[in-house]
Chain A
Amino acid sequence: MRNWLNIPVTAWTGAALLSAGVAALAVGLKLGLGLNGENIATLALLQIAAVLALAIFSGNSGIVSFGHSAFMGIGAYASGLLTMAAAAQKSALPTLPAWLAGHETGLFVALAATAGVGVIAGVISGLPLSRLSTSSAAIGTLAFLIIIHVCLVGARDITRGSQTFYGVPRLTTLWVALAAAVLMIFAARLFRETRLGLALRASRENEVAASAIGIDIRRARFWAWVASITCATLVGALYGHYLGAFSPRDFYFDLIFTFIAMLIVGGLYSTSGAVAGVLMLALVIQLLRKAEAGLGLGFVTLPQVFGLPQLGLGLALLLTIWARPTGLAGLSELRLATFTRRPDEAPPQPLTQPARPKPAGQALSVRDVSVRFGGLTALDRISFEVPMGQVTGLIGPNGAGKTTLINVICGQQRPTAGSVTLGGTTLSALPAHRVAAAGLARTFQNIRLFDRLTAMENVAAAAERNGRSRAEAEGIAMAELTRMGLAPRWNEPAAAFAYGDRRRLEIARALALSPAFLLLDEPAAGMNPAETERLIETLEGLKAERDLGILVVEHDMRLIMRLSDRMVVLNKGQKIAEGTPDQVRADPAVIEAYIGTKRHTNDQQGS
């Protein structure tokens, strides 16, 4: 069995292994070092939980969040208000609104309420955040940090403002912290593999390509943010019950910087990395704390020097960025195979796609499409049809308007006039991420793969879009990889593939969407003649096998003449010819556009 509850079994075993390791370390510390070991372990476990809550959003989306520490603060205050003894509350918070006062709940009731607060906070902050571009979103999280800090300081009746909020019972024992860490390990590790997690990781690697396979990036970011923030408020509540007394300052820049440092040192891209980062830095800090009290080395005694832990933290960060930019763990996750040194998972069995029900006479039609940028007319009333079961070639010299036309067809550019329809759907009115579901898949001129995802994940991310289960999506992905001759390398990251294989992987990803139409944007660009020949063979096979309308944009005349059933020629924004390759080849307007006018040639001869 490869999947359980729609999530790969390796993720479950990986999370279990990681949890077992962390638990063994914590218990070992307690048994070996007594109360001190217990203290060290409790704080480290809370840090693991906090960093994993951060990793759910930042690790998968690639957007570093500076706001999480502030949301932890919200959790700490919310939960602290509920668990606080009534007498302590009266003296600490004399002006507390009555509905908040005197609950004296247990930890678990308080955590349940805090989760509710976390969801609300996540939704409110996630709405604006998910609308921001990747780079602005990081700055947006910084704004949340500042806004929440100001609100916590301002809400004096509830939080005592900048004064210490005290009297919070210290309920976070080693076992509570261990439970939190284990739950967060499972949550973070499994989340990566959910449909949402995979979609988010794909968007992290390449936003345009993610949209093209039908991923609604805003939606993915929104829900991941809500989940991540809810976890952060819960961990914050436990951190509050560990501290016992705190103020908004304790949840400000310093805290989030520590967590981000841990995440970067360990590795932003894997759950195991986040855990490794916390353990590594916790170890560095604890060792240097011992060392700073003065160290006897037998022959010399080092003097007492304070500040060693910070120095160590800075050095660790610097060394990581220099030597291992993806962090200690890089892209790898802890799994059984890490110990057994043999592959622990069999490749999924290829699964043939069920035939897509195709409405008769469906075609991709471009109707009177015009695009004007200010005074410049990029496309002028272009019309043509891409029929099912045929290859349509689109050619034109540089600047003819091919790229603009592709952007219009794929929903990335709104036409000034006219429309592009597929069956009954107007593609040109859809946002880019809904074009795939309408039946159009595409590849890109400058290959856009999800580089740090495996070949399988690249293709499965697309196959999963049609509401398929993980197992089904992997089966289809395997079939497409096999078709493209990439099956033996299914578990390697896309970045490791050679140029020609990257092209094929991109085509496999597009085909996994089971599209009615496939748009290939300069598929032979950058290929040598041998690679081009292989590509032509692949595409000819595809044409024979599948009932698929293909639109190829290409400069390589040999390829396009051999492959196309019909051709459309653009020049300076206008369609100048349409017909079979032979007709187009003989068309004087095409010859003029590509070679120049006869008169021009005569002049040259005459001179």
Chain B
Amino acid sequence: MTRLGRLLSYSATLALLGGAALAEDVTIGLATAQTGGLAFADQPSLAGFQMAIEEINAKGGLGGKYMVTLDIKDTRSDTGATVQAAQELVAAGVKVLITPCDADPSIAAGQISQAAQIPTLTFCGTTPTITDAVGDYMFGTYPADNGQAALLAEHAIAKGYKSAYILKSPDSAYTLRLPEYFAEAFTAKGGTIAGEGSYGLGQQDFAAEVTKIAALNPPPDVIMTAAYEPDFPAFLKALRGAGVTAPVLGSDGIDSPTTTGLGEIANGIVHTTAGFAADGTPLGDFYKRFAEKTGSAPETVYVATGYEIPYILDAAVTAAGTMDGPALRDALASLEGVTVLTGTVTYKGTNRMPSRDITLVEIQNGARTPILTATPDPASVPAP
């Protein structure tokens, strides 16, 4: 063995020993909604998150040296309970806090962890104002509403649509602001808004809104909405029943089997999703691995987006070399092009809502086909 070789092997051994000696236990706190109205998104997100943490721990922990324990608290989809859970977790000294898939509890919890300088990530909160509302320790992970809207607007212009009708509901930020972001991006690219309608969440009867659309002259080229179950199917049935044939653009809220189950009337719908699990793609492989592990394939993409978060954290911890709050915050904010299941994630140059790939899918005959996967051009994304 040469001197150099010996030196290298010594240092490698030292590094290994040192690494082992330095291995540290850290706790990540999850104040997420495992029951109640947000459980549909938070439950699968948690399942993915736990699987990724197990994998990372098996490989030596975050950044190769931090073995992670999870402290999971259910918030019952209640903001007051989320505040309580966040306070408990912060007091328990967690290094990272994960918050529910919704702006209210995420901001309320984030205000607590922000004061304690604990980096905080929301599972799949899509409201782009979440991060600025809280401050520099708050990070989004899921495609933001304005990004989804921008990609839908790009698609609409590319298809040659000149005028769009938007249907929104003031009952939630998602159903209200996403169509408004779309209108902003669409008009910025030269489209016009032919009109807009409003509905209440869970309204059932869309006769009035549909009559208004059918009476438009000239008819709009495309109809855009962020409605989801049970409003979207009800709206679509009424719309097609009234003889309106304009194509419909939707958001990731309709990325569920219900939409493909609508049959013929769903043909031609284009909507956004965080990722499409085609065979041979990293996402498709993950779905297979998840099915092998748990016995059933993921029912929603939230499993995958939840799974991606520990890997985003891993990249940041590796870069920072520590899990101390300020250093980890800076490392997260500087991440660029981290490869995850659904593409890449970048925080650098953003307001901590990630710039990341979004997929457009089209529904035909009860099946989805991906038609475009792209990161929306930052210049065309409406300000939050």
Write out the residue numbers on chain A whose beta carbons fall within 8 Å of the beta carbon of B84: 39-40, 43
Complex CA gap A202/B351 in Å reads: 61
B contact patch SS: helix
Instruction: State in angstroms the CA–CA spacing of A254 and B33 once bound together.
Output: 15
Residues of chain A lying within 8 A (CB to CB) of residue B35: 306-307, 310
A583 at the interface (CB under 8 A from B): no
Bound: A558/B88 CA distance, A: 77
The answer to whether B74 and A92 touch across the interface, beta carbons within 8 angstroms, is no
Say whether B54 faces chain A, with CB atoms less than 8 Å apart: no
Interface centre among B84, B127, B130 (most CB of A within 10 A): B84
How many residues of A are counted as interface, with CB atoms below 8 angstroms from the partner's CB atoms?
36
Q: Which residues of A contact B73 (CB under 8 A)?
A: 289, 293
Are B79 and A163 within 8 A (Cβ)? no
* A156: B residues at CB distance < 8 A: 170
User: Are B134 and A162 in contact, with the CB atoms below 8 A?
Assistant: no
Interface flag for B108 (CB, 8 Å)? yes
Chain B, interface size: which category?
20 to 34
Decide if B53 is an interface residue (CB 8 Å cutoff).
no
Residues of B within 8 A of A306 (CB): 34-35, 74
The 8 Å CB contact of B132, one of A36, A91, A153, A154, is A91
Quick check: is A249 within 8 A (CB to CB) of the other chain? yes
Stretch from A209-217, A240-248, A370-378, A398-406 forming part of the interface with B: A240-248
Q: Are B108 and A163 in contact (CB-based, < 8 A)? A: no
Please determine whether B74 and A244 come into contact, CB atoms closer than 8 angstroms: no
* Chain B residues whose C-beta falls within 8 Å of the C-beta of A324 in the assembled complex: none
- Residue from A35, A166, A249, A293 within 8 A of B111 (CB atoms): A166
A164 at the interface (CB under 8 A from B): yes
Which residues on the A side are within 8 Å of B79 (C-beta)?
243, 245-246, 250
Given contacts A35-B91, A162-B170, A289-B73, contact A244 B104 (CB under 8 A): no
Query: A243: which B residues are within 8 A, CB to CB?
Result: 79-80, 83, 108
**Bound Cα distance from A289 to B171, whole angstroms:** 30
Chain B contacts of A448 at CB under 8 A?
Answer: none
Cβ of A475 under 8 Å from chain B = no
Q: Which of B280-310 contact A (CB under 8 A)?
A: none
A280 to B110, CA, bound (A): 30
How far apart sit A247 and B79, CA to CA, in the bound complex (Å)? 9
A39: contacting residue among B88, B110, B170, B172, CB under 8 A = B88
Is residue B267 contacting chain A, with contact meaning CB distance below 8 A?
no
Interface flag for A32 (CB, 8 Å): no
Verify A242–B74 contact, CB threshold 8 A: no
Q: Are B104 and A39 in contact (CB under 8 A)?
A: no
- Contacting residues of chain A (154-200) with chain B, CB-CB under 8 angstroms: 154, 156, 161-164, 166-167, 170
Asked if residues B34 and A307 are in contact (CB atoms below 8 Å), the reply is yes
Q: Is the CB of B91 within 8 A of A161?
A: no
Residues of A within 8 A of B76 (CB): 309-310
Could you give, for residues 171-192 of chain B, a 1 whenever the CB lies within 8 Å of some chain A CB and a 0 otherwise? 1110011000000000000000
List 7 other contacts, CB 8 Å, given A91-B133, A166-B107, A306-B74: A34-B91, A40-B84, A153-B171, A163-B103, A245-B79, A246-B104, A309-B76
Residues of A whose CB lies within 8 Å of any CB of B are 34-36, 39-40, 43, 91-92, 153-154, 156, 161-164, 166-167, 170, 239, 242-247, 249-250, 254, 289, 292-293, 304, 306-307, 309-310
Residues of chain B at the chain A interface (Cβ within 8 Å): 34-36, 72-74, 76, 78-80, 83-84, 87-88, 91, 103-104, 107-108, 110-112, 127, 129-130, 132-134, 170-173, 176-177
Supply 10 A–B pairs (Cβ within 8 Å), ascending by A.
Answer: A35-B88, A35-B91, A40-B84, A164-B127, A164-B129, A166-B107, A170-B111, A243-B80, A246-B79, A310-B76
Closest 10 CB pairs of A and B: A306-B34, A245-B107, A245-B108, A35-B91, A163-B173, A307-B35, A166-B133, A164-B103, A306-B74, A244-B111
